[in-house]
């Protein structure tokens, strides 16, 4: 179980917002001075994880960058790089640089530091809301339909508040919340609906479909929904390879010795989407070799509107075969 030191934040953490979903509170940031921000709540280190969950950093970077643009500007593209693991027991500094400001677009560079070391950087592009044309074209989930949309869970306010408090204190694992299809309770509800495999079982053409949404209803802040979406795209993305290529990765990823995000790119297609309503995720991997892998994601709302596209590159190292060590991850993964 993860734990935090006595002072993992620069300032005393604020009270838990009872109206917010549990995932919203850990993504909050506080201004230190100018365009420098810090984490409001302790950083989360997942069970069995070696470092802070990268999705938290993505969400916090979005929150900080949004505080430096006009209120009618929303992020539509983000390119992230993870350089070094941060220390979950120390606060972070989120430094935003105003790269460009225009009438309909803006750009921001974000660097997250700790002890003067840059361990995360991102480039965010914003566009002004309301100055867009109707959808010209988009991809649709296929095959369709992929199963009924899950029913919204019956969540009591006391359970939601207990989960929020547990996340702020020591992570997700100790809270006994509603059952999901994942091995550990997390701030997103999951319902896997299909695993589409190529007739010849080629991992690069295998696809996973899942319904997901936030645990509990969220506030109406559009920035918060975008930050949570950024966090979601890093949730279980690389470990989903265990379903795409179970032969190499092993059941439940048992052959994985190391997994971490290197680069993460997100395109936000709809600033009005909501994370407290069901979304359909499609995940696949077109390439994995040399100890690295790519995972591609498309996300639709329940009406079939494409709301986000994501490509993630990560480190993926597997146990070496008993017959002898090899120089890299299998090229057939």
Instruction: Match 């494409």 to its residue by tokens.
Output: 306
Backbone angles phi, psi at 189, to 5 degrees: -90, 140
Residue-level pLDDT at 249 = 72
Residue-level pLDDT at 3 = 37
Which among 249, 260, 161, 169 has a CA at the least distance from the CA of 208?
249
Dihedral angle at the C-alpha atoms of 128, 130, 136, 137, nearest 10 degrees? 70
Residue-level pLDDT at 2 = 35
Burial 213-227 (b: 16+ CB within 10 A, else e): bbbbbbeeebbbbbb
142: Cβ contacts below 8 Å, ≥ 6 apart? none
Residue-level pLDDT at 259 = 77
Q: How far apart are CA 20 and CA 23, in angstroms?
A: 8
Q: How far apart are CA 197 and CA 148, in angstroms?
A: 20
Show pLDDT as tens, one digit a residue, over the chain (333 residues): 233 334 799 999 999 888 899 899 999 999 999 999 999 999 987 666 678 889 999 999 999 999 999 999 999 999 999 999 899 899 999 999 999 999 999 999 999 999 889 999 999 999 998 765 666 777 776 555 456 677 666 555 665 566 555 555 544 333 333 334 443 457 888 887 766 655 445 666 678 888 899 988 999 999 999 999 999 999 888 777 766 667 777 666 677 777 788 999 999 999 999 999 999 998 888 888 888 889 999 999 988 899 999 999 988 887 876 654 444 443 334
Which among 95, 109, 63 has a CA at the least distance from the CA of 229?
63
Fold of 25-129+154-318: Porin (2.40.160)
CB-based contact 111:80 (threshold 8 Å): no
171: Cβ contacts below 8 Å, ≥ 6 apart? 1, 2, 3, 44, 45, 46, 47
Q: How far apart are CA 333 and CA 322, in angstroms?
A: 17
pTM above 0.75, yes or no: yes
Q: How far apart are CA 312 and CA 308, in angstroms?
A: 13
Report which secondary-structure segment, H or E, holds 225: helix 222-232
Q: How far apart are CA 58 and CA 56, in angstroms?
A: 5
Residue-level pLDDT at 195 = 64
Tell me the domain boundaries of the chain. Answer: 25-129+154-318
Q: Three-class SS string for 140-209?
A: CCCCCCCCCCCCCCCCCHHHHHHHHHHHHHHCCCCCCCCCCCCCCCCCEEEEEEEEECCCCCCHHHCEEE
286: Cβ contacts below 8 Å, ≥ 6 apart? 204, 294, 296
Report which secondary-structure segment, H or E, holds 295: strand 292-301
Q: How far apart are CA 172 and CA 165, in angstroms?
A: 10
Report which secondary-structure segment, H or E, holds 282: strand 279-289
């Amino acid at each position: 179980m993860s734990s935090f030191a006595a002072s993992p934040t620069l300032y005393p953490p604020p009270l838990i917002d009872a109206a917010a979903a549990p995932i919203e509170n850990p993504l909050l940031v506080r201004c230190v001075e100018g365009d420098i921000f810090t984490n409001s709540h302790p950083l989360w280190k997942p069970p069995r994880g070696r470092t802070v969950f990268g999705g938290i950093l993505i969400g916090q970077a979005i929150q900080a960058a949004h505080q430096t643009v006009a209120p009618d500007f929303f992020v539509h593209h983000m390119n992230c790089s993870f350089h070094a693991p941060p220390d979950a027991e120390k606060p972070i500094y989120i430094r935003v640089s105003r790269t460009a400001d225009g009438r309909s677009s803006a750009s921001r560079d974000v660097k997250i530091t700790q002890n003067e070391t840059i361990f995360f950087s991102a480039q965010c592009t914003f566009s002004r809301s309301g100055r867009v044309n109707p959808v010209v074209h988009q991809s649709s989930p296929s095959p369709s339909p992929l199963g009924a949309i899950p029913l919204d869970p019956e969540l009591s306010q006391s359970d939601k508040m207990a989960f929020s408090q547990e996340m702020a204190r020591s992570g997700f694992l100790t809270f006994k919340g509603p059952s999901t299809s994942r091995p550990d309770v997390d701030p997103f509800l999951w319902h896997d609906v299909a695993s589409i495999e190529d007739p010849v079982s080629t991992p690069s053409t295998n696809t996973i479909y899942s319904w997901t949404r936030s645990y509990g209803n969220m506030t109406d802040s559009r920035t918060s929904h975008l930050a949570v979406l950024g966090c979601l795209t890093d949730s279980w993305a690389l470990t989903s390879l265990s379903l795409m290529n179970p032969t190499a990765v092993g059941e439940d990823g048992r052959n994985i010795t190391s997994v971490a995000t290197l680069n993460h790119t997100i395109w936000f297609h709809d600033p009005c989407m909501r994370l407290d309503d069901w979304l359909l995720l499609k995940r696949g991997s077109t390439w994995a070799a040399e100890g690295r892998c790519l995972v591609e994601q498309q996300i639709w709302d329940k009406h079939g509107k494409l709301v986000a596209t994501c490509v993630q590159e990560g480190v993926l190292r597997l146990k070496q075969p008993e017959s002898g060590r090899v120089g890299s991850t299998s090229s057939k993964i």
